[in-house]
Every structure is written in structure tokens, then in C-alpha cells.
Amino acid sequence: MKKRILSGLSLAAGLAVLTVACVQTPTTNQTANTNAAAPTTAAAAVPAELRPALDSINSNDIMAHTKELSSDQYEGRGPGTPGEELTVKYLTAQYQRLGLKPGNPDGTYVQKVPLVGFTGATRASFTANGKTIDLKFPTDYVAVSRRFVPESKVENSDVVFVGYGVVAPEYGWDDYKGVDVRGKTIVMLINDPAVPDAADASKLDERMFKGNAMTYYGRWTYKYEIARDRGAAAAIIVHETGPAGYPYEVVSGSWSRENFDVQTPNKNMDRAAVEGWITLDRAKELMTASGQDFDALKKAAVTKDFKPVTLNAKANIEVKNTIREINSSNVVAKLEGSDATLKNEYVIYSAHWDHLGRDPKLPGDQIFNGALDNASGTGAMLEIAEAFTKMTPAPKRSIIFLSVTAEEKGLLGAKHYAENPLYPANKTLANINIDGVNQWGRTKDITMVGDDNSTLIDLLREAAGTQGRTVKPDPEPEKGFYYRSDHFEFAKVGVPALYTDSGVDYVGKDVAYSKQKRDEYTDRDYHKVSDEIKPDWELSGAVEDAQLLTLIGYRVAHGDKYPEWKAGSEFKTKRDETMRGVATP
């Protein structure tokens, strides 16, 4: 554990004065519309510069921001739509209201993110042993071409099953085994091998692929990246709800509409011509028609000695793209640090402002309001930003508030920032990311998303302890949440990144309550038009979590050492390379 200092106090003294825990259980008439911060039992012990800051975080304001951003007027906050214009205007106005400086060194609150929007019309079929399997879009499959050209075709392409499509030298794992898949259509399983739904996971060494926890090898973005590197013509992932972590409707709802990617000089011509998903039932039909058994193939794929299986099948897939170029926007604001030297070092808070926009093809409600995902997280970050403005003096290091675009399209706004940073990565101490809030009340714990992979987790434990709370591991590690939000793009360039989720031990609720509510949200609301503010929202837990993240950012901004990745983290090498030759502060 790395020692931190806090306004010149020792670590122990700092923890003592930062006690903000033991938030009282809400009364029966307390609702999401209450205008109070979560009360503290040790308010008198909070340092003067933090007391007004923490007290300023309240459920009324988080709710007000969430209501505004998730209202129908914003049309689901789709990039490149009038909803984006309204969102950027609102966020800029809020940052100006708080007295925050423009976060772009060019004097503006905006970092332009050049995107390409592409809407595909697609047809697809397989032929196997004389049988033609016509696929219906989007109920049987979805497919896009990320090549920025009007038309992409895969014609009479050999189909190869490549298991999980993973090449992981550190595990001695290679699902390709030297098989040339150039010009071919590869079919892959979702997630990585060591997941509960794997056909014979009991045979895997428990150290492989972090056990039940998804690694980046299980993320769908990786699978298309390896397909690109191997020269595949088309890359198709078999969807299964368990290992994917979401139902097929989440995929079809997103991929059957306009999609986006960052503009590139080569127009993405190095990507596979077609990237897509197929339902489990149609994948099984393909395997059966090819003389194979899906369950047997899946069972074989979970072992190291698996070899690619060339199916007795051909693929024909066509995608015709309607393309438009847009300049989307990250919105960024800065609270300048109070130390003359350390103000040139940075702590970045991030939250994505976008959601899925509007789908005019839908009957009835057409707007994906994205109240929880991520109007709520944006509202919480605005509250944290306001809290920092109430600290006197300001933190020693500068605090950056980054509202990123196109998270729902593949973390594109965060990716663009990470690859084109406004502030150097080797002067960025940490990223603290917020994607959704706890909408169901206070918890006795908070969830650590991902591994215990950096010293930020040590800070999380210490700060949670001041609230009388504990840090619990992710209850759903197989879903790979650490690779599914904007902090991941910071981690990839080496910046230590913290991402937390709601706790699971709700005050006054039984142990089944958390899973029940999580499952309800995933099944009913995630990436659906029904992601709207619900009558049962009660944001006292969101307030407490926002206070916690404020404390962590404050501690980092005053720390005597940079946060670090721990040994064994896949991001440590990149950070070490970035920091090599840079003096330790």
C-alpha cells in the first residue's frame, strides 16, 4: 500500500478526520426528490475545506441533471443528432455555472471527436451440404462493415470455427494453431474459455484467464481485432446470454441502427469486411447442417489442444453502407490546482454523456432515454465537480472533468482522448470513471469492478472504511465490466483507472434484493427505451458513492506518490514505459 498525504496530515490522521460514514438509514418518506446529502455522524471532524464540498452533493441535484438529460427533448443523446447539440450546450453551461475553466488548452470546453456514422443494409446466408440457411436481419444476425466504403461483400467464403478466437501467449493458448484464415469467415464463441457457461470449464486450470472473471480476450472488441490481424474476411460471434452478460436484444438493438467509428486515414480498410453476431439457435443450425455438433465443438474449445474446425459451409454476406462524417464532442472542464508546480499534474473524472438516440422504426416509444446509462452518471460527475469548487483552498493538483461521447458505440470518445490527450498521460495520475449510479438506496459496501489491480483499490478501501463500508469484489466478473466503459481506454494507455459499481448489501434489505434488482434492470431496461427514471429510485446511495469518489480524487490530488498498477496487471508495462525517465513527484 502506497502512503498518501492529505493536506500535510499523516495517513492515520487523515483517515480520522475524513470520517464521513455511518450514513443514517433513510426514513420511509425519503425519496429520490429529497434535497439533502447523505448525513454524517462525524461532520464536526471533517476538515473545513471538505465539509461544504461533501455536503453539497445531494440527491435532488443528481436527479435534476438526470431528468433533464434523459428527457424526450434530448432524443436519447445520440452522437451527431440535435440531442448531442443540446447535451453539449447543457454540460458547457453547467461547467461555466460552476466557475470551472475551459478544459481544452485552446480555450474551449470542447474536444472535437471526428467520427464516421454508418448505417448498413445487409443480407446473409450460409450454404452447407447443399442446404441454404437464409438469415433474417436483425432477429437471426446483425452485421456491419466498419470499412468506410459504400459496399462490402463476402462471397462463397469458407467458414472456420475458431473456438473462442483467442491468442494468449502468456497462457500458452492459441485458438488458431497456425491455420490460415485469410479471406475466410470465422465463427467464434463469446467471452473467454474460463466462464461458468463453458462446456467443460472444470478441466481448465483455475489460473487460466483469471478463472470466472472475463479478461480482455473475452471482450467482443478483441475478437474483431484478432480477426483483423489474421486477415479474416468476416468475423461472426455466437451470442449466448449467460457469458455475454446481456440478452441478444441488446446487440440487435444497437447494431441494427446507425453505428460509429473514429475517422482513420485508411478508412478502416484493414478491418474485416464484415463484423457481426449470430443467435445461438442459428449457429447450432449451421453446425448441424455442416455435420458438426455445436455442444461438442464448444466442449473441445475450452481445452488448450483445440484446433480450428473448417466447416463444410460457405458464407455469403453483403453490407451496403450509408456513410456520414460528423464532428462529435467530448466536453471538458478544469479546476486548476492550487500548488504552483503540482497544478500541472492531473486527476481526470470521466462519464459518458451519450446514449442510443432515437429509432424511428420502433412502434410507440422510439427514444432510448438512457436515464441510468448514463444521464445519472453524468449528473453525479457534475455534483462531484461542484463539490471540488467548494474546497478552499483548491486541491494541489488540477482536476479534469471529461464528459465523453460515443461510449455506446465502442468507447470512442474516451479512445480519442486517450490517443489525443489534452494533458500528458505521464502527468495524469488517475482516471475515476462513473457509468451509472446506485438508484436503490444505501449499501454497506461498494463493488470493485475488475481486479485488485492498482493502488487506487487501496485508496478505495481506505476511503470506504471512513464511511463504515467495505469493498466487495465484482459479483458478476464473468461479464467483464472493466472492459466495457471509458476508464478502459485510459488503462490501455497506462493511466491507473478506477471504476466502481453499486454495492450489493443494501441497508434494510435481504441478501436477494441486489441480484433481483440487477437482473430486472438487465432484462427489462438495459439499452432499451424503458431506461427511464423509475418510481422506486432512491438516490441516497448515489450520494454516498459520489462523496466516496470525491474523497478518492482529493486524496490522489494531494498524494505524495502517483497511483501505480500492481504486479501482474496487464496495464503495468505500458505505464512503466510511459513513466520511464519521468521524475517521481
Task: Read off the pLDDT band of 482 (50, 70, 90).
Answer: very high
Residue 22 lies in a domain: no
Same domain, 376 and 453: yes
Mean pLDDT of 56-84: 97
Residue 65 lies in a domain: yes
Q: What is the DSSP string of 392-448?
A: SSPPSSEEEEEEES-STTTSHHHHHHHHS-SS-GGGEEEEEE--S---B--BSEEEE
Looking at residue 438, what is its pLDDT? 97
Same domain, 395 and 468: yes
Indicate which CATH number applies to the domain containing 218.
3.50.30.30
Range of the domain at 121: 116-323
Neighbours of 205 (CB within 10 A): 10
Residue 86 lies in a domain: yes
| Digit-coded pLDDT (tens) for 289-303 | 999 999 999 999 999
Average pLDDT, the chain: 89
Task: Read off the pLDDT band of 31 (50, 70, 90).
Answer: very low
Indicate which CATH number applies to the domain containing 356.
3.40.630.10
> How far apart, in whole angstroms, are the C-alpha atoms of residue 320 and residue 121?
5
Task: Read off the pLDDT band of 212 (50, 70, 90).
Answer: confident
Same domain, 77 and 140: no
Identify the residue whose cell numbers are 453524468.
378
Say which range, 12-26, 123-137, 200-214, 385-399, has the weakest mean pLDDT.
Answer: 12-26
C-alpha cell at position 338: 492550487
More confident residue, 443 or 214: 443
SS3 299: helix
The values of phi and psi at residue 86, to 5°, are -65, -40
Same domain, 202 and 270: yes
Cβ neighbors of 68 (< 8 A, separation 6 or more) are 74, 90, 375
Looking at residue 249, what is its pLDDT? 93
Residue 35 lies in a domain: no
Looking at residue 389, what is its pLDDT? 97
Question: How many CA atoms, within 13 angstroms, populate the side-chain half-sphere of residue 318?
Answer: 6
Looking at residue 585, what is its pLDDT? 37
Same domain, 287 and 359: no
Mean pLDDT of 346-364: 96
Same domain, 315 and 392: no
Residue 547 lies in a domain: yes
Same domain, 122 and 104: no
> How far apart, in whole angstroms, are the C-alpha atoms of residue 119 and residue 121?
7
pLDDT beyond 90 at 4: no
| Digit-coded pLDDT (tens) for 504-559 | 999 999 989 999 999 999 999 999 999 999 999 999 999 999 999 999 999 999 99
Q: What is the DSSP string of 192-261?
A: -SSSTTSTTGGGS-TTGGGTTS--GGGSHHHHHHHHHHHT-SEEEEEP-HHHHTS-HHHHHHHHTS-EEE
Pairing type for strands 167-168 and 173-174 reads antiparallel
pLDDT beyond 70 at 20: no
Domain end residue (candidates: 323, 347, 377)? 323
The values of phi and psi at residue 238, to 5°, are -85, 120
Looking at residue 13, what is its pLDDT? 32
C-alpha dihedral over 76, 435, 64, 392, to 10 degrees? Answer: -140
